[in-house]
């Protein structure tokens, strides 16, 4: 039972490890000339080829009917993240740095929370402590990520990162002009907004098409088709952009397609059905912590006090979000919540007749409003 409860948390942590790894290798591949348009196309093509056989085998019987409205949602999903977000995000990364790009992604939890609240995918009652915990926790995780980005502080000497400070700083401090920084920032922000919209539409689509593998394969296929059209228009006459080579770009395409697009969409869909889109995106700031730790170990990057302090704040914020979500689940599993009683005009009228013994001509009726039963209460609230 405990392992079953841990599965959603392990899944979202795996997603953040996958995203952090992709940021590191994608920046290196982009610096070596990888085209972000063709990267998005090939990445989604790889994801389609990997996920489609599993969808055909495991969901061949229970797959829902593909209606026109579901088809439109899938095409929208294929446009929002595989095309718009990926191209804007990696184009913005070319104008800035990998650290800056992943830091900007920490606005996704706040964007997703607001949109989920508007679309009624997230229960929020500001009068309740656990709802305030979710709101404060989301803001705290974003703030922690900003602390990691802005605050530097003294360097913390780690045994595996000594002796490389000067060389690393000379290699990693490439100047970025103010114009490029603004242009890249706007691209990344627009990409994050598109990614947040993707999560909301995915949660809505799963309600009418609860087949995670099939939905993942269709999203990636739609992204491949639409991304190819965009790339043909944007890179017309540039046939070199489509050429694949045995280099870091090919590794990035395969890694991004299998881990981040294929498994990423599938796992986020499974967790989203149980926990909602806010839970999935609340862990996004964790990728900054992972990048900082991996960068310190693998790339011998220096760890400073700002990164450690920001990481602690992120963990506190995640705890508040998880606590608030757990309280939501405990209340939804309970049979009856007095705080959610319908208004008096929606309660069930009940008439009690009082007749005087031996005189049936006198009938005194008393009408009172009674709270509905659990079954009737759920019908009233559309549950």
Condensed to tens digits (0 to 9), the pLDDT of residues 1-11 reads 577 778 888 99
Q: Collapse the DSSP code of 220 into the 3-class scheme (helix H, G, I; strand E, B; otherwise coil) and give the result.
A: helix
Largest CA distance in the chain: 105
Determine which helix (DSSP H) or strand (DSSP E) holds 13, and give its type and residue range. Answer: helix 2-31
Residue 78 near residue 221, CB atoms below 8 Å: yes
Residue 39 near residue 246, CB atoms below 8 Å: no
**% of the chain beyond a pLDDT of 90:** 32
Give the contacts of 369 (CB within 8 A, at least 6 positions apart): 344, 347, 348, 349, 350
Least confident of 28-37, 198-207, 261-270: 28-37
Find where tokens 């394969």 sit: 217
Residue 54 near residue 213, CB atoms below 8 Å: yes
Condensed to tens digits (0 to 9), the pLDDT of residues 101-131 reads 777 787 888 888 888 888 888 777 777 887 7
Please tell me the distance from the alpha carbon of residue 238 to that of residue 37, in angstroms, as a whole number: 12
pLDDT band for position 170 (cuts 50, 70, 90): very low
Of 84, 67, 74, 95, the closest CA to residue 229 belongs to 84
Mean pLDDT confidence for 370-376: 53
Structure tokens at 302: 């220096």
Please tell me the distance from the alpha carbon of residue 151 to that of residue 316, in angstroms, as a whole number: 18
pTM of the model: 0.76
> Residue 100's Cα: distance from chain center in Å?
19
β-bridge partners, 349:
369
- CB burial readout 328-367, b (16+ within 10 A) else e: beeeeeeeeeeeeeeeeeebeeeeeeeeeeeeeeeeeeee
Higher pLDDT residue, 151 or 1?
151
Phi, then psi, of 37 in degrees rounded to 5: -70, -50
β-bridge partners, 364:
354
The DSSP code sequence of 294-350 is HHHHHS-PPEEHHHHHHHHHHHHHHHHHHHHHHHHHHHHHSS--GGGPPPGGGSEEE
Condensed to tens digits (0 to 9), the pLDDT of residues 175-199 reads 556 677 788 888 988 998 999 999 9
- CB burial readout 266-277, b (16+ within 10 A) else e: bbbbbbbeebbb
Mean pLDDT confidence for 266-276: 91
The DSSP code sequence of 34-97 is --HHHHHHHHHHHHHHHHHHHHHHHTTTTPPP--HHHHHHHHHHHHIIIIIIHHHHHHHHHHS-
What pLDDT does residue 288 have?
A: 75
Of 178, 173, 171, 187, the closest CA to residue 94 belongs to 187
Higher pLDDT residue, 228 or 248?
228
């Amino acid at each position: 039972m405990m392992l079953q409860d841990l599965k959603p948390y392990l899944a979202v942590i795996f997603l953040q490890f996958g995203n952090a790894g992709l940021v590191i290798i994608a920046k290196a591949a982009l610096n070596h000339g990888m085209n972000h348009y063709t990267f998005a196309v090939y990445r989604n093509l790889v994801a389609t080829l990997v996920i489609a056989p599993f969808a055909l085998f495991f969901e061949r019987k229970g797959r829902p009917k593909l209606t026109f409205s579901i088809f439109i949602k899938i095409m929208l999903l294929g446009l929002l993240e595989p095309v718009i977000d990926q191209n804007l995000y990696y184009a913005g990364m070319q104008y800035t740095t990998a650290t800056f790009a992943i830091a900007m992604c920490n606005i996704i939890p706040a964007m997703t929370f607001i949109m989920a609240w508007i679309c009624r995918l997230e229960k929020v009652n500001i009068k309740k402590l656990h709802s305030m915990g979710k709101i404060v926790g989301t803001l705290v995780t974003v703030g922690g990520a900003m602390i990691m980005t802005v605050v530097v502080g003294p360097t913390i000497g780690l045994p595996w990162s000594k002796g490389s400070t000067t060389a690393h700083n000379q290699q990693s401090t490439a100047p970025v002009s103010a114009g490029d920084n603004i242009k890249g920032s706007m691209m990344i922000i627009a990409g994050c907004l598109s990614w947040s919209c993707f999560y909301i539409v995915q949660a809505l689509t799963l309600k009418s098409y609860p087949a995670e593998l099939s939905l993942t394969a269709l999203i990636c296929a739609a992204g491949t088709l639409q991304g190819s059209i965009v790339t043909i228009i944007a890179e017309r006459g540039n046939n070199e952009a489509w050429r694949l080579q045995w280099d870091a770009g090919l590794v990035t395409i395969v890694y991004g397609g299998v881990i981040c697009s294929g498994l990423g969409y599938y796992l986020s869909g499974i967790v989203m059905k149980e926990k909602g889109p806010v839970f999935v995106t609340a862990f996004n700031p964790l990728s900054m912590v992972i990048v900082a730790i991996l960068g310190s170990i693998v790339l011998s990057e220096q760890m400073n006090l700002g990164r450690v302090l920001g990481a602690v704040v992120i963990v506190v914020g995640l705890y508040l979000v998880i606590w608030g979500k757990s309280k939501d689940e405990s209340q939804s599993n309970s049979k009856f919540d007095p705080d959610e009683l319908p208004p008096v005009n929606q309660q069930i009228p009940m008439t009690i007749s009082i007749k005087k013994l031996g005189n049936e001509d006198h009938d005194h009726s008393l009408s009172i409003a009674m709270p509905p039963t659990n079954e009737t209460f759920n019908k009233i609230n559309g549950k």
